[in-house]
């Protein structure tokens, strides 16, 4: 049976727990991870403007509650596929911050050996399987991974993250159709920041409440407040539980980014009123205020935690800065899952099979 929930579930601003019984250590853990994502992304933006990070760079600033809430709902054995806005997911999944920053710097110690960069983070140990630069490119791949799990009769779940702009491509609809038809263990998450680059969702989607698209495929669709880490976590847990029973879900989290589409985007399409609204909804400041009001956190402890996280980010940046660049002749390493017989090229200009020349 299809169920759609159109309004985000909200909690009282001064109550950081759904029932007053949430473990304070769990709350502090969520806050620390959100703070780590915030400080890491702020530093990444700075390093990009200093030309120490190349290519494109898309930040999770303003989406920290969604990132941490989603990752908190998963088991270590579950799989994660993300869009190019992937730094926070790697950090919240447990990837070492130094290896993430090193990848942004294009260094050999990075999670993708320095060849992937900001948009292509990949870590087998935490089952983070990308980081994809093509809009929606991860959706059919995540669906295929879920098919593999089902084929092996495994218990793992695949979580596939995307932005709102990816929901208008054909692969989105094809994937959801197959996932429902074949009862695949997958959770599709749309992080709706209300803008596809600079285009409002209402101008690009005939149905702007994107979770409602689940009804066409007879799967559960739900919308949740993406600035509430507990609401996201709980909604994701429900979706993950369904996925383990072979019931896919389309989960939509409403979360506005605090910066432009990428670091180089000045976001002039946002009005001053919109910027003020987003600043007031800042999920990190919101959770901090809730924890202070509930007595879970003190001002002194909050400052100490911020300093601790700052040191982690500083150490990650120093690690990246002093790491070596990858050797050029490793460019084609790790390109294929299995070796290609006869392939000897080491540089882009090398012939594929020189013996045939």
**What's 192's DSSP letter?**
E
What is the domain-level CATH number for residue 275?
3.40.50.970
121 contacts 95 by C-beta, under 8 angstroms: yes
Nearest-angstrom CA–CA distance, 142 and 184:
10
Q: Report if residue 339 sits inside a domain.
A: no
Q: What is the mean pLDDT of the chain?
A: 89
291 or 20: whose pLDDT is higher?
291
Task: Quote the pLDDT of residue 287.
Answer: 97
Closest by CA to 159, choosing from 251, 229, 227, 226, is 251
**What's 86's DSSP letter?**
-
Nearest-angstrom CA–CA distance, 257 and 263:
12
- The tokens for 331 are 């460019």
Question: Which own/partner contact pairs does 267-272 have at CB distance under 8 Å and 24+ positions apart?
Answer: 267/198, 269/195, 269/198
Q: Report if residue 346 sits inside a domain.
A: no
Closest by CA to 251, choosing from 262, 241, 265, 236, is 236
Q: Report if residue 322 sits inside a domain.
A: yes
Q: Report if residue 108 sits inside a domain.
A: yes
Give the structural domain span for 289: 4-326
Q: Report if residue 72 sits inside a domain.
A: yes
Confidence of residue 1 (pLDDT cuts 50, 70, 90): very low
Q: Look up the pTM and report it.
A: 0.89
Nearest-angstrom CA–CA distance, 156 and 244:
7
Q: Report if residue 332 sits inside a domain.
A: no
With a pLDDT cut of 90, the percent of the chain lying above it is 73
Please give the average per-residue pLDDT across 267-274, as a whole number. Answer: 82
Nearest-angstrom CA–CA distance, 167 and 252:
11
Task: Quote the pLDDT of residue 354.
Answer: 59
Lowest mean pLDDT among 27-41, 50-64, 280-294, 335-349: 335-349
The pLDDT tens digits of the residues spanning 164-179 come to 999 999 999 999 999 9
pLDDT at 8 over 80: no
**What's 357's DSSP letter?**
-
**Domain count of the chain?**
1
Q: Report if residue 354 sits inside a domain.
A: no
Confidence of residue 352 (pLDDT cuts 50, 70, 90): low
The pLDDT tens digits of the residues spanning 303-329 come to 999 999 999 999 999 999 999 999 988
Q: Report if residue 344 sits inside a domain.
A: no
């Amino acid at each position: 049976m299809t169920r759609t929930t159109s309004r985000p579930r909200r909690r009282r601003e001064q109550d950081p727990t759904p029932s007053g019984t949430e473990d304070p250590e769990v709350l502090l853990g969520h806050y620390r991870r959100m703070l780590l994502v915030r400080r890491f992304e702020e530093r990444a933006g700075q390093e990009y403007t200093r030309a120490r990070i190349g290519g494109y760079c898309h930040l999770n600033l303003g989406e920290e509650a969604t990132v941490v809430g989603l990752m908190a709902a998963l088991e270590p054995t579950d799989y994660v596929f993300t869009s190019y806005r992937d730094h926070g997911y790697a950090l919240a999944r447990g990837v070492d911050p130094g290896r993430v920053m090193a990848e942004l710097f294009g260094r050999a110690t990075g999670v993708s050996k320095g060849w992937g960069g900001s948009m292509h983070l990949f870590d087998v140990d935490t089952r983070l399987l990308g980081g994809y630069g093509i809009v929606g490119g991860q959706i059919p791949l995540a669906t295929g991974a879920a098919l593999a799990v089902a084929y092996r009769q495994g218990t793992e779940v695949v979580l596939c993250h995307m932005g709102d702009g990816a929901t208008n491509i054909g692969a989105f609809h094809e994937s959801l159709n197959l996932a429902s038809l074949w009862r695949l263990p997958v959770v599709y998450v749309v992080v709706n920041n209300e803008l596809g680059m600079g285009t409002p969702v209402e101008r690009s989607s005939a149905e702007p409440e994107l979770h409602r698209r689940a009804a066409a495929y007879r799967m559960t669709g739900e919308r949740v407040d993406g600035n509430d880490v507990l609401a996201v976590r709980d909604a994701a847990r429900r979706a993950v539980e369904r996925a383990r029973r072979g019931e896919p879900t389309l989960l939509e989290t409403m979360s506005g980014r605090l910066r432009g589409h990428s670091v180089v985007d000045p976001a002039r399409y946002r009005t001053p009123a919109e910027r003020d609204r987003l600043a007031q909804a800042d999920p990190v400041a919101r959770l901090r205020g809730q924890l202070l009001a509930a007595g879970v956190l003190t001002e002194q402890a909050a400052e100490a935690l911020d300093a601790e996280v700052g040191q982690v980010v500083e150490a990650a940046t120093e690690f990246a800065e002093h790491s070596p660049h990858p050797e050029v002749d490793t460019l084609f390493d790790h390109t294929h899952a299995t070796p290609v017989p006869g392939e000897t090229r080491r540089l882009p200009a090398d012939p594929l099979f020189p013996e045939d020349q």
